Structure 1
Amino acid sequence: MTHPYSDLPPNAFWRSGVAEETLTPEALYRPKFPLGPDAAIATAGSCFAQHIGRFLHTSGLNLLDVEPPLNDEAPGLARQYGYGIYSARYGNIYTTRQLLQLLEDAASGHVDGDLVWEHQGRFHDALRPAIEPEGFVSVEETLALRRAHLAAVDRLIGQATHLIFTLGLCECWADRQSGRVYPIAPGVIAGEYDAYRHHLLRLGYPDLMDDLIAIRAALHRRNPGLRMILTVSPVPLTATATGQHVLTATTEAKSLLRAVAGAFAEGLEDVDYFPAYEIVMNPAAKGAFFMPNLREVSQEGVDAVMTVFRHAHGIAVAETPDAPSRATPAEELLCEEVLIEALRR
């Protein structure tokens, strides 16, 4: 060997690994631990995580769902009410702070009576405002169902062997008085924005790392054997309130999330990182992995991500009449974020 690069494999070089080669699943991802037939999997995260959950559901693996709909005869309607999207009815969890907050509340059973938003005489759980599109009939109903939800999340963490969490955003809106963070700004779905009470919270690298450390600790207090698989959503921001151009803000956010996810997983045997972000953003795809709006991931992109995941874990996709093997198309994802653009003046 004349220098450290002499005997490296082709996938260590850009020309031979990307520009001149079709990216193979084996080269992109080697999991630290298996997802075998005994795995009990929970999913959570930003909108892109819905693709992962749908794929796992159709794969025949044990995807947990601790809050299923009472009537499964209308799955499309159930999805509109937050059922069957994730392993519990918590809706999209865009930030590490949001997930940490949920785990802490589930462990303590704490329900904050102030976190109920009103809209046209109906009431929304401020921490999952989109799960009931028309809102609940009363504050009491809202809080009672949140208590039941937290109990379900606690059961979920106790039952799961693996949690797949997709990191999506670094900026969120928070309450100055309580420190609570929301999945979306007050006033977009329900509630009222108060500039004196609500503020934009930008999570930096130390914040994200501290959150992940605390998330893992919270999970292990409830279930010491639980393993985590982290991914980063490739979906750009719909909008930013940072004052930056949305392209710059997106690049900053995804860079932070990718860096902290990789660094956190690197030194832990029970935490793995799956490169969904890299697969979609791969230059060799030449834009084919995005829809014409340059934000939603195309079906081809989703298939590329799930093919790598499936091959790495040896998962065979089951074909059944009511469970198609293809992931949910991007246009069917339920994302509160897109409402920001719809309400733009």
Structure 2
Amino acid sequence: MKLQTQVPLDAAKKPLGYDSTILTLGSCFAEHIGKKLQYYKYRSVLNPFGILFHPLAIENLISRAMAEKEYTKADIFFLNEQWHCFDGHSGLSSSSEATLLDKLNNGLQQTREQIKGASHILITLGTAWVYRNNTSGAVVANCHKVPQKQFTKELLSLDEVASSLERIIKLVRSSNPEVQLVFTVSPVRHLKDGFVENQQSKAHLIAAIHKVLKKGSISYFPSYEIMMDELRDYRFYAEDMVHPNELAIAYIWERFSLVWIAEEARPTMEKVAVIQRGLQHRPFNFESDSHQKFVKALEVKIVYLQNEYPFMSF
């Protein structure tokens, strides 16, 4: 008896291995995938500008990074005792003007360097709803709790999303023609936009990706479809009924790994996992002989892996 339908997965054109260099950008679901890659010690960079929900915000970051257009005081503002930038997530905000500018410009540099050297770029789109600043006319990445009356809310059309994706691809490939781009749509439900409006938004994102996909320039991983079909039960959501819970994240990661992780990387991943679990172990008695032996054995495993992969740090 079959009690679940599974979303068919396409084999990866270029699977991830420990020789890969990865940049992960996008919504909060990009954070989940990115943190899994970091847990397993892949050479990866995750969201240098923090969580970016819509394609125009991701395009703006890449465009500015590749143009080497640094941020200045004119690009930031002070509100609620902190400095903010409309192009970045609130996680970058700071009580210090200089600190925020350093974060922004370091993020640009990190993005630029990673794009130039990346073997893979994973981009997760969260929503097609955007907020346009009524004063500047620019679409913002984050409103930073500025009064809503200062923005106009808009739904990007299918063609607008597709055009943004095409510009992203062109920008990336202009400096790194061989990079493998993987797009996915976040399964997080943006219910603050409304139930119907959330579905409308996801439909625009999915349709736009597949419009660009037909040109053969990118790959697609069906995170949204797996959540909606294989995990179609509220027990796979967190208490807010919006975000996938840890079980759902682990399941989608498992499905992602099935097609996007190279077979030869799996033994190393298991060795890394053993070390990670060991590092998280909390003994009853730190001074006991058995724990000291455990620590020494763990150190040997770490040194062994680092000799093989010098970029790994624990």
TM-score class, shorter-chain normalisation, is 0.7 to 0.9
Which stretch shows the higher mean deviation, 286-295 or 254-263?
A: 286-295
Per-residue deviation, 1:231: 0.6
The corresponding residue for 2:27 is: 46
Provide the residue aligned with 1:83 in structure 2. none
The equivalent of 2:286 in structure 1 is: none
Report which stretch shifted further, 107-116 or 213-222: 107-116
* Structure 1 or 2: more helix by fraction: 2
Residue 288 of structure 1: CA displacement?
Answer: 3.2
Percent of matched pairs sharing the same residue? 20
Query: Out of 214, 218, 230, which is 2:167 matched to?
Result: 214
1:247 aligns with 2:207: no
**SS, match of residue 210 in structure 2:** helix
**In the alignment, which residue of structure 2 is the partner of 1:193?**
147
Q: Which of 154, 167, 187 matches 2:112?
A: 154
Equivalent position amino acid for 1:221 in 2: S
Aligned to 1:328: none
CA distance in 2 between partners of 1:129 and 1:286 (Å)? 31
**What does the per-residue CA deviation read over 1:14-36, in whole Å, with 9 as the maximum and x for residues that have no partner?**
xxxxx9354568x4332233223
The one-letter amino acid paired with 1:47 is C
Q: Distance in 1 between matches of 2:3 and 2:215?
A: 30
- Asked whether the equivalents of residues 172 and 184 of structure 1 are also in contact (C-alpha less than 8 Å), the reply is no
| Pair 323,230 (structure 1): closer, same or farther in 2 beyond 3 Å | farther
> Structure 1 residues 127 and 320, CA, compared in 2 at 3 Å: closer, same or farther?
farther
Q: Are 2:223 and 1:263 aligned?
A: no
Q: Aligned partners of 1:289, 1:101: CA distance in 2, in Å?
A: 33
Task: Give the CA deviation at 1:149.
Answer: 2.4
Describe how 1:241-320 pairs up with structure 2 within 5 A: 246-268=194-216, 270-282=217-229, 285-313=232-260, 314=263, 316=266, 317-318=269-270, 319-320=273-274
Flag the 1:205–1:320 CA change in 2: closer, same or farther, 3 A: same
C-alpha change, 1:158 and 1:251, in structure 2 (3 Å) is same
- How far the C-alpha of 1:55 sits from its partner, in A, is 1.5
Task: Please tell me whether the aligned partners of residues 89 and 131 of structure 1 are also in contact (alpha carbons under 8 angstroms).
Answer: no
Aligned to 1:20: 2
SS class of match (2:276)? coil
Report 1:83-232 matches (<5 A).
86=46, 88-110=47-69, 111=71, 113-132=73-92, 135-138=94-97, 140-186=98-144, 188=145, 192-193=146-147, 195=149, 198-232=151-185
> In structure 2, how many angstroms separate the alpha carbons of the residues matched to 1:152 and 1:144?
12
Q: Give the Cα separation in 2 of the matches to 1:198 and 1:93.
A: 18
Q: 1:231 to 1:264 in 2, by over 3 A?
A: same
Q: Determine if contact 1:109/1:147 at 8 Å carries over to the other structure.
A: no
Where 1:294 maps in the other structure, the secondary structure is coil
Name the CA distance, whole Å, in 1 between partners of 2:63 and 2:3. Answer: 46
Aligned to 1:330: none
- TM-score normalized with structure 1 length: 0.70
Q: Is the 8 A contact 1:42 1:164 kept in 2?
A: yes
- What is the CA-CA distance between 1:131 and the residue it aligns to? 2.2
CA distance in 2, matches of 1:198, 1:157: 31
**TM-score, normalised with respect to structure 2:** 0.77
**Any idea what SS the aligned residue of 1:114 has?**
helix
Q: Give the secondary structure class of the aligned counterpart of 1:185.
A: coil
Match of 2:302 in 1: none
Kept after mapping to 2: 8 A contact 1:204/1:256: yes
